[in-house]
Structure formats: structure tokens, C-alpha cells
Amino acid sequence: MLTHINKKGQPAMVDVGAKKVTLRTATAQSIVVMPEEVMKQFTGGDIQSKKGSVFQTAIIAGIMAAKKTGELIPLCHPLGLDNCAIDISINKKQEVVINCTASLTAKTGVEMEALVGASIAALTVYDMCKAMSHDIVIKETKLMEKTGGKRDFKRTK
């Protein structure tokens, strides 16, 4: 059943009025595949571009985006996040791994905020590095874990 469709088959925001207030957390992940010429610029835990520190800029952009999720996704509730953190690392396959974790105490979850934060951080990495190569691929964005709602979720791989 689609939760954002009312009895008349029209789009609707989910009514969370009767839900319990609980601590809600969510972590989402985006993976960016970088060509070798860009990865050669990786030093000191970051990539330096003509625009500046790539990862630091992506972290700020991702947090800003997560806070604006209700403005970007039409049927999302506007939420005041208690916390949002983004971690960026390089995995064994030489891919940029972006994890965004968002949390708040509320009647609705923060999955979309975490997904938007990770996605915009990935897009910012692309934007900051595109002068070095257009062969950058944002491979995937996915929910990794959520807690505090009707049912918890944890991705096993």
C-alpha cells in the first residue's frame, strides 16, 4: 500500500498526528566511483580541487540538504533535525563512500533526510571534481539502517 495516496487516489501527506514521539535515526550511503586521475589528487584524507577541499565542502552541502528535505521532496514533513553527520571515506575498491546519519525525536522518521544528505554530498563531490574528469559515476544511494519507527531496518550488505 502506498502511504502517500489518499482514499481518492490523490497525493497526500501522511497524517502522523496519532503516532508516538520516539527517537528516530537513519543512515544512508552513497558511493561515488572516481577515475584514477581524480583519485591521484587524494592526499591527507581529502581531494583538493580548484574549488577547494572536496570532502569538507560535500559534508557541509549534505548537512544543509538534509535540513531542507521537507522543502525538496513534496510530501515529506518539515523536520527540525536533532543531529546530522556525514562521514566520507575511501573503500578498498578506491570508491568514495559517503554515509549520512540523521536523528531526531519525533512522530516521523528521518530516512529521507539521510538519503537526501548522502545524495547531495555525492553530487557535490561530482561538482567539485568534474573539472578533473567527467568520468565520475554516482553508483548508488541506499538506506543502510533506520530505528525508532513502526519497524527497524538494517541492511546486511
User: What pTM, to 2 d.p., does this model score?
Assistant: 0.93
Cite the DSSP H helix spans in 11-110. 36-39, 54-67, 69-72
Task: Give catalytic status of residue 46 as yes or no.
Answer: no
Q: Which residues pair with 105 in a beta bridge?
A: 23
Tell me the three cell numbers of residue 6: 489518499
Closest to 59 in 3D by CA, of 21, 89, 15, 103: 89
CA-based nearest residue to 129, from 40, 30, 29: 40
Count CB-CB contacts under 10 A for residue 157.
3
Cα–Cα dist 41/43, whole Å:
6
pLDDT digits (tens, 9 = 90+) for 27-57: 999 999 999 999 998 888 898 888 889 999 9
Distance CA 152, CA 78 (A): 22
Domains and CATH numbers, the chain: 22-149 (3.30.70.640)
DSSP alpha helix (H) spans, 11-156: 36-39, 54-67, 69-72, 111-129
Angle between helices 111-129 and 54-67 (to 10 degrees): 150
- pLDDT value of residue 36: 93
Active-site position among 46, 127, 135, 152: 127
C-alpha cell at 15: 497524517
Q: Quick check: 26 pLDDT over 90?
A: yes
Predicted confidence (pLDDT) per residue in 67-107, tens digit:
999 999 999 999 999 999 999 999 999 899 999 999 999 99
Cβ pair 59, 122 in contact under 8 A: no
pLDDT tops 90 at residue 137: yes
Helix ranges (H only) for the chain are 36-39, 54-67, 69-72, 111-129
